[in-house]
Structures are given as C-alpha cells and as structure tokens.
A and B are shown apart, each in its own frame.
Chain A
C-alpha cells in the first residue's frame, strides 16, 4: 500500500433532480510509472491507481481506466445527474490490490 493515500472529492451539497452537477476528485498517490530508475539504476516497479469509479446508489456515473501517463495525484472531473437524494461512492483501485473509498451525500429537491 502506498503511503499517505488520501482521496478528496468536491460534490455540491444539494441539487435539483436531473440537474448537471460538477464533481471533482483527487487522490494523493505517486502514480509510479514503472519507467523510472532509482539512484542505483534499478527500475522502480510500477504502482499506479489503475481504475476509478463513481457510483450513485449502485448506479454507475463514471468508470475510468488509468494508465501510467496519468499524473501524480490523479484528478478526475466529470458531471453527474441524480434523480433523488442519496450518496455517491467513489472508489480508487491500486495496482497493489488496495482499494480506497470515500462517499459524499447530496440532497436533491
């Protein structure tokens, strides 16, 4: 497990039903590409976040596959629309098998 991995998301607290809302997500992660070498010249093994998903009450908003070309601290911004109040679930999948999750509730009027 990479050190200090911390997901952060920005979701509006409230929205109208079906309104497009902007969601911004960041996770602190080195996204080690597998192409770098250490000071002794040995390859540093790849370790990246390879998948990110955002679901709302079990329904998919975005499912993204990430490669080593995505920057350190991967940032993903997208738009969602939801029919009713509920909770977004955000999930990041690490190469080492770790899974990081966070949730954010939204009130829909």
Chain B
C-alpha cells in the first residue's frame, strides 16, 4: 500500500543507486534490449529459465529463491523485486515501476559528470516494441538514443524495419552501427562497420559489434534479403586480432549473441576483455568470468544500466568494478530534457495509447521459457476470434507485465505485440507438422550446444497441452501432445486449424494480432487468465 511504498522510497535514494567508488581510467556504460520502452513499466523476470548441458544451473539459468541465495540478496528487498519473479505483484506495489528513458538519462548524465569520457554502448533491440516505435518506424527511439549520447550500437530487431529504413537510419546516426558478423549475402563481404576504436582515459578501446546471429531464421529474412549473419567465430577471432594489431589496449565485444552463445564464444576466441551481452534479456548483478573475460548482462526494457569501471594500462585490463544499476522510476528523478523528447514523440498518439481496451484480473507477464499469462491471453484471443483448435504465440522475450486489477490500455497491448509482421494467420496443419514445429523450436532453446540456440523462449501454445523433456535430443523432447478441448491425443495424420502470429513467411495473411486481441478484450471486458497447467516440463 501507500505507506509501505513511501517507506521503501525513503530507504532507496538516487544517490545510493548511483553510488560507485570509481576505479581506473575507463568507464563503460551498457544498456541493451530496451525494446522501445520509453516509459516506466512493470517487468517480471522469469520463473523458468533452464540451461542445458554444461550450463545447467549456472547463471543466467538461476531464478527465484536460488538467484537470491546465489547473489546474497534478501527476499522482499528492492533487488529481489528488480531481479526475480517471486512475490512480484506485492513487491511491485512496494517499489513501483522500473525504467523510463528519462530516468536512464539521469543515470547516464550522472556517470558522465563523474567520468566525462565514459563510453555509452547500446546492445540493440532498441527500435522495436511499442506503438510509437511502430508508427514512427523507429524514429522515436533513434532520437531518444541520440539524445542519450549513445556512441555505438549493434542490432537485432532493428532489421525488422526493413533494410531500406535501417540503412536510412544508419546513414543518419552520429555513431557507428556495428556488426562484424553481418555480410552481404551475394559477395560475402562485410556489410556494416565491424568495430570502432575509441581513445578514452589514455587507452585505446576497441568496440566490436556482433549482431544477432540468427536474424534471417528467427525473423523474416525477406525484409533484409541480401544480408547474411551467423556466429562466425573465426571472423570474430580475426577482428579481435586486427584490433589488437591496431594497438587496442582493451577489446570489448558489444554483442547480441545471447548469454550462452557469448559465454561459449568468450571461451573460444582469445583476446576479448569484456563481452557486453544482450538478446536473452538476462539481468545479472555480477559479471560472469570466462577465463579472464568479463561477460556482462544488463537486462532489458530499460530496467537496468550497467556501469563498468576498468583499469586499463600497458595494453591490459588490470582490474574492474561493476554495478548493475536498477532504474527505480520513483526514486531516480526524470531528466527534463529527455522527458521532453519522449513526450514530444508520444503526444500525437497519446489518446490512442491511453484508450482502455479491458481490465485484467490476473498478473500478465511473458518472460519465462514456457507459457506466460500474456501469451495465454493472446492464445485465448486467437482461439476464439480466429475459431481455431490450436493457437501458437512466438516465444518472444520482450513485452512488459501488467498487475492484477490494472486496465489494459492500447499501449500495453502494443507493448506486447508491436512489430512489422503482425498478421494473425489461420491455417490447417497436420498433427505431424505440429510435432515437428514443437521439436524444432524446442531445439532452438535446448540444444546443448549454445551455438545452435537462437535465444528465444519456447513457442506458447493455446488449445493444446504437451510434455517436454529438455534433456532429450531433437525429435524426442516433445510427447503427449493433447487437444485440450476434447482431451484426445494429437493424431499425426489428422488436420487441425491453427492460428498464430508473427510468421516469418512473406505474404502471410490475416488481421494484425493487436486487432484480434483488442476484439477479444472488448467482448470480454475483464479477463482472467488461469494458471497454465497443460505444459509438463522434465529433464531439468
């Protein structure tokens, strides 16, 4: 309630959140996977985040009470609220919303006031994820990140604006758009700048960009037809060598590989000092060490900013100090200049953003390896509005949460669905194809070799239950697929009506997913999403 909230705010102060005993001569500031979230929000961290093979039980595959224990965080504390899912609704009431790019601007300015040469790096997934980013083709985010003073970025969802728009923005940026692993598909030549060398604190800092490796697989390749991505470990090794030969004292990889891919790459490519990882949306309060390489995970949705101070001398990293700064929006004052930029972009859409479409009685969240309530709601809408037997909703990791009792405004719906290929298709699929799809997506998540993982969560399913053994190889993880409305097993030879959205296929037909969910919300008024008990997980 109000009293506890006031008390909590008295405990937390902006000075405490920013407190940092400076170290060395170099400061890096990292923010990633903002997904166009300009305003403070709720974002529940995952309850289920399984690691397989060598990384089982290692961060970031630690959640809830185990996470608190691992990092020595008190349950019920501000950090428990920011970093874990437990007691989320109650703690949200206590500590308030997180993020907001005007608060992020305050933090960045404060760090720069102390360390004028601090280097601000954006890990990508910046230009997509909201109504205003969709309507302005990413321009709101470009203007915000320019105002924030970003000095280099890498990318993933950026490319879903289409190659022409991406290149138009890249031309306009006052900083490089880095991607050592982005190649022209025809002649196999680098398509974007691979790295930039900055001179800061008397040191030469090479920042190498690594874009999301599975761009044309996880997102519609036809939107950027002449580009090839991939992990390209040998290319990374060659670029690290190139920047070392050019005199770099510190090598930083600004990566959108996802955590496990970066951990593997850091262990195999010599000469990387720091990996600023992104894509899998993990928020870790301490760096993970891979040999002498720091892997830093700065969360998503503007919830956190990482400050990393480094002592770089004689061509070596001699020491570091790190802080994952949680952006408590009621504690950190908004920066007025940034607030004006944000409000300027939102003003033309304000009425649309604020329109209430319904109310939720349940906590709505997405993040987690398997079904979350936001996607269960989307699946329910697809089943009803598209008259389908089975609904599929992609395992995206973006999309904020909503608390029980809150109105669902158009802004909230768009925060969970906003994208450039939203068609809600309706098609017939055999039980066999459905099984193939489930196995295929499962392998993208649970292949024991991280280089074969794509960094999304499991496809969310409505109207169908299944069991998954994450320890099994591809083709034998998924069993007991059941059509919920009849309780009958899915028959490989039978055909089912399936509705889903965000198909990577060109010319997919159907209404936009947000129109489907809006129609559903308007018919139901108030929605309540029951806990999903139809996905049985084992092998972890």
Contacts and interface: CB of A to CB of B under 8 A. Distances in A.
Q: Are A and B a genuine interacting pair, yes or no?
A: yes
A26 B188 contact: no
A24 B187 CA distance: 7
A77 B186 contact: no
A11 B186 CA distance: 15
Interface in B173-198: 186-188
A75 B228 CA distance: 15
Interface in A8-24: 10, 24
Nearest to A24: B187
A107 to B, nearest CB: 22
Nearest to B186: A26
A104 to B, nearest CB: 15
Nearest to B187: A24
A17 to B, nearest CB: 26
A6 to B, nearest CB: 13
A5 B397 CA distance: 45
Interface string B116-144: 00000000000000000000000000000
A80 B187 CA distance: 17
Contacts of B188: 24, 75, 77
Interface string B187-222: 110000000000000000000000000000000000
A26 B188 CA distance: 11
Interface in A59-84: 75, 77
B235 to A, nearest CB: 15
A71 to B, nearest CB: 11
Contacts of B187: 10, 24, 26
Interface residues of A, number: 5
Chain B contact-residue range equals under 10
A22 B499 CA distance: 49
Nearest to A26: B186
A96 to B, nearest CB: 25
A63 to B, nearest CB: 22
A26 B186 CA distance: 8
Interface string B442-482: 00000000000000000000000000000000000000000
Contacts of A75: 188
A93 to B, nearest CB: 22
Contacts of A10: 187
Contacts of A24: 187-188
Contacts of A77: 188
Contacts of B186: 26
Interface in B145-190: 186-188
Contacts of A26: 186-187
Interface in B277-322: none
A43 B313 CA distance: 68
A23 B188 CA distance: 12
A15 B187 CA distance: 20
B172 to A, nearest CB: 30
B312 to A, nearest CB: 35
B131 to A, nearest CB: 40
A75 B186 CA distance: 9
Interface string A4-47: 00000010000000000000101000000000000000000000
A91 B50 CA distance: 53
A49 to B, nearest CB: 17
Interface in B85-127: none
A75 B188 CA distance: 10
A24 B188 CA distance: 9
A77 B189 CA distance: 12
A65 B20 CA distance: 64
B80 to A, nearest CB: 53
A31 to B, nearest CB: 16
A24 to B, nearest CB: 6
A37 to B, nearest CB: 21
B234 to A, nearest CB: 15
A29 B187 CA distance: 16
Nearest to B185: A75
B37 to A, nearest CB: 41
A78 B187 CA distance: 13
B311 to A, nearest CB: 41
B184 to A, nearest CB: 11
Nearest to A73: B186
B467 to A, nearest CB: 37
A59 to B, nearest CB: 26
B216 to A, nearest CB: 15
A95 B187 CA distance: 25
A75 B183 CA distance: 15
A84 B188 CA distance: 28
A10 B187 CA distance: 9
A75 to B, nearest CB: 8
A20 to B, nearest CB: 16
Interface in B483-527: none
A77 B187 CA distance: 9
A60 B188 CA distance: 24
A26 B187 CA distance: 8
A5 B186 CA distance: 16
A84 to B, nearest CB: 27
A15 B188 CA distance: 21
A24 B186 CA distance: 10
A9 B111 CA distance: 52
A70 to B, nearest CB: 16
7 contacts: A10-B187, A24-B187, A24-B188, A26-B186, A26-B187, A75-B188, A77-B188
Interface of A: 10, 24, 26, 75, 77
Interface pairs A-B: 5 shortest CB-CB: A24-B187, A10-B187, A26-B186, A77-B188, A24-B188
Interface of B: 186-188
